[in-house]
Amino acid sequence: MLSPLAVFFGMPGPMEMLIIGIIVLLLFGNRLPSTMRSLGRGIVEFKKGVQGIEDEVDKASNSKEDKD
């Protein structure tokens, strides 16, 4: 369900999104590369953690099958 404010003003179009993007770039432009770099590192660490959990689950299921 849309909020009353979104219904009143409508969804932003491509031109409004472009203007918002330019404003964000002007405000945060100097910090943007370091922010994206840390975001990328966080995603890599998250994927490594998920892979580690998957490996543990596989190892546990394989050892359970070997015992049976």
Which tens digits make up the pLDDT trace of 22-64? 998 888 888 888 888 999 999 999 999 999 999 888 888 887 7
The pLDDT of residue 18: 95
The pLDDT of residue 42: 96
Query: Given a cut of 90, is residue 19 above it in pLDDT?
Result: yes
The pLDDT of residue 7: 65
Task: Give CA–CA dist 33/9, Å, rounded.
Answer: 33
